[in-house]
Amino acid sequence: MRNIALRLKYDGSRYHGWQVQKNDITVAQTLEEALSKICEHPVKTVGCGRTDAGVHALRYCANFRTGCRIPTDRIPLAVNSRLPGDIAVVDAMEAPEDFNAIGSCIKKEYVYKILNSSIRDPFLEKRVCFYPQNLDLSLMQQAARAFEGTHDFRAVRSVGTETKTTVRTVYWCRAEKEGDLITVSVCADGFLYNMCRAMVGTMVYASYGKLRPEEIPELLEKGDRRLTGPTMPPQGLYLNRVWYEEPVGGMFLE
């Protein structure tokens, strides 16, 4: 059986996240149905991570196994002809036998986009978080830096998928602004359920004085979700990059 790695991107607006579910349309289900048609057998994909309902991916990696002999360079065009316009496979490669899109992933970067303007943009309604209250970028940047390092992040975790540990390493957390658009970038070795969106919510709270950036390390130590900021809406969140120890075939997945 061949192990095929895919690089794809998607607008998650109309999907109930990545993971296949019984009663809701998801990205994985839609992709698997398209792959099953071109491979002529049922296909099960492994994704590099769970994205929730309404969350997008600028770069996403998935792998699947198949006995189909279709050349890898033809897979993107073949599967895209059977996918809706809001999902696109942009590359495909033969992967090592032991490659697993989530198990082999060593770190990920999410970005969160906030339209900080008094006037909403209807063309960005499902692609940014519209936030009309003025945000202090300097305070958000101070709060962002307070998250960097290895910590127990249960204070910015929603109840959801169980994990063996809530300790994660955040390699960087940055906030930048261009015009009215604030972009928060967070890179970590893993993310807890709603962790990134809760981190951004805590940064927003810091921007207008509901908490001080220098309090964040103490709040993380206390581990009380009620003391940190809100979970921001999903439409502003994008999986931006994923990293692996080795190139997958000839394709660097990052």
CA distances from 212 to 31, 53, 139, 204 (A): 44, 31, 8, 11
pLDDT higher than 90, residue 60: yes
| Alpha carbons 234 and 227: distance in angstroms, whole number | 21
Neighbour tally for 112: CB within 10 Å: 26
Residue 82 DSSP SS3: coil
| Alpha carbons 72 and 75: distance in angstroms, whole number | 5
Rounded to an integer, what is the distance from CA 14 to the centroid of its chain? 16
pLDDT higher than 90, residue 87: yes
pLDDT higher than 90, residue 85: yes
pLDDT band at 251 (very low <50, low <70, confident <90, very high): low
CB 124 within 8 A of CB 233: no
Would you say the pTM of this structure is higher than 0.95? no
What would the mean pLDDT of 92-101 be, rounded to a whole number? 94
**Which residue from 140, 120, 123, 122 is spatially nearest to 132, judged by alpha carbons?**
120
The residue from 11, 24, 52, 180 that is catalytic is 52
CB 236 within 8 A of CB 112: yes
What percentage of the chain reaches a pLDDT higher than 70?
97
Domains located in the chain, CATH noted:
2-103 (3.30.70.580), 106-240 (3.30.70.660)
| Alpha carbons 189 and 150: distance in angstroms, whole number | 10
What pLDDT sits at residue 247?
72
| Interacting residues of 82 by C-beta distance below 8 A, sequence separation 6+ | 33, 34, 37, 38
Amino acid occupying residue 206: A
Q: What is the pLDDT of residues 188-219, one digit of tens each?
A: 999 999 999 999 999 999 998 999 999 999 99
Active-site residue, 52 included = yes
| Alpha carbons 202 and 66: distance in angstroms, whole number | 44
According to the 3-state scheme, what is the secondary structure of 150-184? EEECHHHCCCCCCCCCCEEEEEEEEEEEECCEEEE
